[in-house]
A = this chain, B = another copy of it.
Amino acid sequence: MKKIFSGEAIKTASLPQLKELCEAMREEILRTVSVCGGHLSSNLGIVELTVALHRIFRFPKDKLIFDVGHQCYPHKLLSGRADRFHTLRKFGGISGFPKREESEYDCYDTGHAGTAISAALGIAKARDLNGENFSVIALVGDGSFQNGLVYEALNSIKILHSRVLIILNDNGMSISPTVGGMHEILEELKGAENEDDIKLFERFGLTYRGIVNGNSFEELLPALEEAKELLKHGSVILHVATKKGQGYPFSEQAPLETHGVCPVLPVGEYSAALGEELCALARKDPKIVAVTAAMTDNLGLRTFFDQFPERAFDVGICEEHASILCAALATGGMKPYYAVFSTFLERSFDEIIHDICAQNLPVTLCIDRAGVAGADGETHQGVFDLSFLSFIPNLTIAIPKDIGEFRAMLRMSAKYPSPLVIRYPREGREGTVSDFEIGEFEVLHSTMSDVVLIAAGERCLRLAEDVRLAALERGHDVTIINARFLRPLDEKLLSALPQTNIVTLEDNMLCGGLGDAISRFYRNSGKKIFSFGYGDRFLPHGTPHELMERYGLSFGAILRTVEECFARG
């Protein structure tokens, strides 16, 4: 087995030794990702570039900021974490994203797209104010170049009079293939040294260099040397073309399938159901359109895009724009479905309020990966959505108990005249469903005992059932209610509930979610409310089960609370 070396050894190695290092790193990444899951093709593509950066620059004195950050594995292997790399994305192990707490080589935490240039400008400005001297490098994929933040940062370069090196890592892909006007500009740059497009960057105060083959040391090393020199005088953009999946034939051919690799489940089960139901609805209703922000496949919408290309819009990594586009389509009589991961919807917060809800438009937000999302960690957990949506006027929030109910909610949504959210996790079972109305809860199990579990979503309802069965073994049965809607609450059912002890379960922060809403409803009623959800901290990477058990939805703690209710009588 070839050996991974780093530090001074990289600076003195011969080219053949560097190439061997890359082979060793690719082997390690392949081996680890095949066990732990993670991002494969983007990390394979960037091995030479990372090695070259470590040869030319001096980390951690120099600062390297990864946009999104999913492509940081080679950097982790070269910065003292090779021996722990096999713990990648496991609870307590190495994070799949840059983490300041993990290493001084990680100078800025990322996870969402488009932040690296802003961060680099801030770090460079602090350097200048402190009278320090080091290089600041932002490594940004072409997919992120669709995001408005990149442009806001470019617009600031002249304002801040600072010096940063932007490396545009252009593989023609974000998670889905890169799209849009900026993509075409970058493609034309690749075709020839197009003066017009180079001027675009120069207008923003950047010296442009490129295109460099990012998988060739022969091209990379002199280009980085030159960039380092230019950086003394101003900001530089180095345009590097890399091949996603480089060195791994299957990944080279299928970068999309191997962007994120999970060792267990290739496709989200709720996502697949979304695709099926939306296609069925769209066949009947020509007003139905679907919008995604560079996530067509992960959201289960590939078939929809194939069958209804004129009604399917992938706008690139532009979550804000996607929301407004939906609102405006709705003003024109369309019925838009915006599918998005919970964590990325945070980018649309302002537009959900002002464009969708203040205008009370019939946009349906399909929020995938809601609740703990698992191995990607802090920046990818979907645990805030109920909290940041629950106070927005005009918005209905639905939380299906299983995929069958999700399908029913989608069918219901087709005629719903107002903003609607449906939030769901990745994994689920089909289940069965009876008819229901907007805002109607469901009693899944009814007893005469004085304890009721009110739970939202499949994970929490399964947990509630497990707790019920465990309590039953001790002779105590409890009522279980499926809180299908956070907004509106089923006030009729809640008003009629005879139980004194109410236990709420939600796969969300405790603050601002179901527990608070139920508690608000019962305020001053004499009911005892016990709420379970995530406490006041960011949740690291781990399996959903590990995170639930550890950070607020522990089976044992819930059972204990139930038993204490019975003990008090």
Contacts and interface: CB of A to CB of B under 8 A. Distances in A.
A325 interface: yes
Contacts of A146: 152, 155
A289 interface: yes
Contact of A331 (B126, B149, B316): B126
Residues of A contacting B: mostly:
helix
Interface stretch (A25-33, A260-268, A522-530): A522-530
A229 interface: no
B203 A184 contact: yes
Contacts of A328: 108, 118-123, 125-126
A24 interface: no
Interface string A415-429: 000000000000000
Most chain B beta-carbon contacts within 10 A, residue among A148, A330, A346, A379? A148
B149 A100 contact: no
A328 B197 CA distance: 29
B157 A333 contact: no
A148 B159 contact: no
Number of copies: 2
Contact of A130 (B118, B154, B333, B524): B333
A7 interface: no
Interface residues of A, number: 110
A349 B352 CA distance: 12
A502 B529 CA distance: 18
A116 to B, nearest CB: 9
A168 interface: no
A156 interface: yes
A321 interface: yes
Nearest to A109: B359
Interface of A: 100, 107-109, 111-112, 114-115, 118-123, 125-127, 129-130, 146-160, 179-185, 188, 196-197, 199-200, 203-205, 286-287, 289, 310-311, 313-316, 318, 320-321, 324-334, 346-347, 349-351, 353-355, 357-359, 378-379, 384, 387-388, 390-394, 509-512, 516-517, 519-520, 523-524, 528-531, 536-538
A95 to B, nearest CB: 12
A148 to B, nearest CB: 2
A325 B159 CA distance: 12
Contacts of A528: 524
11 contacts: A111-B354, A122-B331, A125-B334, A148-B150, A149-B324, A152-B315, A155-B318, A156-B180, A347-B349, A387-B512, A516-B519
A523 B512 contact: no
Contacts of A125: 313, 325, 328-329, 332, 334
Contact of A123 (B158, B203, B331): B331
Most chain B beta-carbon contacts within 10 A, residue among A199, A321, A326? A321
